[in-house]
């Protein structure tokens, strides 16, 4: 039985008091979650200590981080290691977000190292993949995403891979005026699961949660989450407003667990 997950990626937003207020609003409005229907909150690094304390009072709501460095330690001014995150009670780390790939030049080789650091420190990975408008228009999106998965994750053994969540980002439909339909999301999620099956077998692949990382809102969440291979969402802008985020979580709770 694979988990349904809604993960909040605050990106570079909110100061400490605003973050504390948002989590307090989530605490007051969050519907009942379970082991197989859960929430992850990934704030900026400066929020992590405060968020860990607040989230400790919430059942099945887990603390995430938005990134970590690919080395265990060293002279990397301004960076944060996986062991530091683990010691701060972080349980999930987002790796390979499209913005990290685009703005910071993170390639699949680097991301494989980051994945290793996260898993070695006892945390779970939310591994992002997805294609640009250029790739989508060329019709090569399936091969592109498969390469990201193979080069970033397929060095892992089966036991380690079970601690990975996949997040598909249709970069071509974010800020371009184009919209990804629920069917397009399902088609790519099904492709991703078929690629996982080819490497790890059907039993493992069927147990991996694949989240949708497009423009997910309360108005379209139910349609997206009803798709057979869409197991929740990685939420950006809508995660900054408690009412909207709780609406998305509520839509997740209405879907069946595969």
* Tens digits of residue pLDDT in 18-58: 999 999 999 999 999 999 999 999 999 999 999 999 999 99
For the domain 4-253, what is the CATH code?
3.20.20.70
Q: Which residue among the candidates 47, 69, 97, 189 is catalytic per the annotation?
A: 97
Tokens 């989590």, residue located? 23
Residue 177 has pLDDT above 90, yes or no: no
Are 249 and 243 a contacting pair, CB within 8 Å?
A: no
- Contact criterion met (CB below 8 Å) for 19 and 245: no
**116 falls in which pLDDT band (50, 70, 90)?**
very high
User: What is the per-residue pLDDT for 257?
Assistant: 63
- Choose the catalytic residue: 69, 169, 189, 244: 169
Q: Quick one: pLDDT at residue 173?
A: 87
Mean per-residue pLDDT for 161-177? Answer: 91
Q: Would you say residue 105 has pLDDT above 90?
A: yes
Model-level pTM? 0.97
* Ranges assigned E (strand) in 106-191: 124-129, 164-168
Q: How many CB atoms lie within 10 A of CB 256?
A: 8
Q: By the 8 A CB rule, do 171 and 131 touch? A: yes
The C-alpha atoms of residue 115 and residue 110 are separated, in whole angstroms, by 9
User: Tens digits of per-residue pLDDT, 149-160?
Assistant: 999 999 999 999
Q: Are 192 and 166 in contact (CB under 8 A)?
A: yes
- pLDDT band for position 1 (cuts 50, 70, 90): confident
Dist. CA 94–CA 81, nearest whole Å: 13
> In the predicted model, what is the mean pLDDT of the chain?
96
> Which pLDDT tens digit goes with each residue over 214-249?
989 999 999 999 999 999 999 999 999 999 999 999
Tell me, yes or no, if 169 is annotated catalytic: yes
List the chain domain ranges. Answer: 4-253
């Amino acid at each position: 039985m694979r988990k349904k997950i809604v993960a909040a990626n605050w990106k570079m937003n909110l100061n400490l008091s605003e973050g504390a207020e948002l989590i307090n609003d989530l605490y007051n409005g969050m519907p009942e979650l379970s082991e197989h229907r859960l929430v992850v909150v990934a704030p900026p690094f400066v929020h992590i200590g405060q968020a860990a304390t607040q989230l400790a009072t919430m059942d099945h709501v887990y603390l995430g981080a938005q990134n970590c460095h690919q080395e265990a330690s060293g002279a990397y001014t301004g960076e944060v290691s996986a062991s530091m995150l683990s010691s701060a009670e972080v349980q999930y780390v987002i790796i390979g977000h499209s913005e990290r790939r685009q703005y910071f030049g993170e390639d699949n080789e680097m991301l494989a190292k980051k994945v290793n650091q996260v898993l070695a420190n006892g945390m779970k990975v939310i591994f992002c993949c997805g294609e640009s408008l250029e790739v989508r228009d060329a019709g090569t999106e399936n091969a592109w995403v498969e390469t990201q998965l193979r080069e970033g994750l397929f060095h892992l053994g089966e036991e380690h891979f079970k601690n990975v969540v996949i997040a598909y980002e249709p970069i071509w439909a974010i800020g371009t005026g184009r919209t990804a339909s629920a069917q397009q999301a399902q088609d790519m999620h099904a492709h991703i699961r078929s690629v996982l099956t080819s490497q790890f077998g059907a039993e493992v692949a069927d147990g991996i949660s694949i989240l949708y990382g497009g423009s997910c809102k309360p108005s379209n969440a139910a349609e997206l989450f009803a798709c057979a291979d869409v197991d929740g969402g990685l939420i950006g802008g809508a995660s900054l407003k408690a009412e909207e985020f709780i609406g998305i979580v509520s839509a997740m709770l209405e879907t069946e667990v595969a």
